[in-house]
A and B are shown apart, each in its own frame.
Chain A
């Protein structure tokens, strides 16, 4: 699977959240921070194709940016369902970018709530993302 590079991801996120976004390559993904923000994608025959994991602070930041919720909420230590509902839409749009780069059509598993297991996967692509003064975190893709 091919995944968006940092420039493609930055452009997509900036267009989506309407703010300046900084995206840098990284190799570190803190599994302790992932919780409730890992999403699994399947192809047309419902075969797993890839997962997208987001460290919780960044998941909150993405959700708060998209839904224009107060930025202070993005600092919540525990998963905020309202923010993560918005995050799911960000994930959906990012998956559209992944589709554009591959010959398979992937989609979020219907009803996916961010609790897919990351397991022992190694990231195929991982980025540190900053949105203004919101919490920073890592977003990573891994093959199924």
Chain B
């Protein structure tokens, strides 16, 4: 399964890789993007099954990326992993097509619980 991790923090991308592995998702092939614009280009060029995006990012944030995924009919499951898990943000993400919204800080257990269906 091909997964694209989008977050402007290299530290957070590293942690997410680590905790996905610790959660038992060893079968993933993971690539990274550091903002929505880069992620969009990667989605246009490549084949991904799942996209996990941050919310507040420069050069296209999470909401805009989700909208582009929907508008362009990319065959991918997209969702959000963010520290800003307000009710408004979750609603906004859902309206934009997010299939999941995981709050930071996350642990391997929360990733396993929240993403089991998406990453199986």
* A-to-B contact residues, CB < 8 Å: 12, 15-16, 66-67, 85-86, 88-89, 92-93, 95-96, 99-100, 105, 107-108, 110-111
Known: A12-B105, A110-B58. A105 touches B84 (CB 8 A): yes
- CB-based contact A105/B86 at 8 Å: yes
- Looking at B9, B12, B105, B107, the one whose CB has the most chain A CB atoms below 10 A away is B105
Majority DSSP secondary structure for residues of A touching B: helix
B89 part of interface (Cβ distance < 8 Å): yes
Which of A92, A99, A100, A110 lies in contact with B9, CB distance below 8 A? A92
* B-to-A contact residues, CB < 8 Å: 9-12, 14-15, 56, 58, 82-86, 88-89, 103-105, 107
- CB-based contact B84/A96 at 8 Å: yes
Chain B nearest Cβ from A141, distance in angstroms: 16
Which of B9, B56, B84 lies in contact with A89, CB distance below 8 A? B9
Chain B nearest Cβ from A112, distance in angstroms: 11
Measured CA separation A66–B19 after assembly (Å): 13
Chain A nearest Cβ from B105, distance in angstroms: 4
Measured CA separation A86–B88 after assembly (Å): 27
- CB-based contact B11/A105 at 8 Å: no
**A-chain residues with CB within 8 Å of residue B56 when the two chains form the complex:** 92, 107-108, 110
- CB-based contact B103/A85 at 8 Å: no
Chain A residue with the shortest CB-CB distance to B19: A18
- CB-based contact B82/A96 at 8 Å: yes
Supply 19 further A-B pairs (C-beta < 8 A) apart from A85-B11, A99-B84, A105-B88: A15-B105, A15-B107, A66-B11, A67-B11, A67-B14, A85-B9, A89-B9, A92-B9, A92-B104, A93-B105, A95-B83, A95-B84, A96-B84, A100-B85, A100-B86, A105-B89, A107-B56, A107-B84, A108-B56
- CB-based contact A96/B103 at 8 Å: yes
Measured CA separation A96–B82 after assembly (Å): 8
Q: List 29 A-B contacts (CB under 8 A).
A: A12-B105, A15-B105, A15-B107, A16-B104, A16-B105, A66-B15, A67-B14, A85-B9, A85-B10, A86-B11, A88-B9, A89-B11, A89-B12, A92-B9, A93-B83, A93-B104, A93-B105, A95-B83, A96-B84, A96-B103, A99-B84, A100-B86, A105-B88, A105-B89, A107-B56, A107-B84, A110-B56, A110-B58, A111-B58
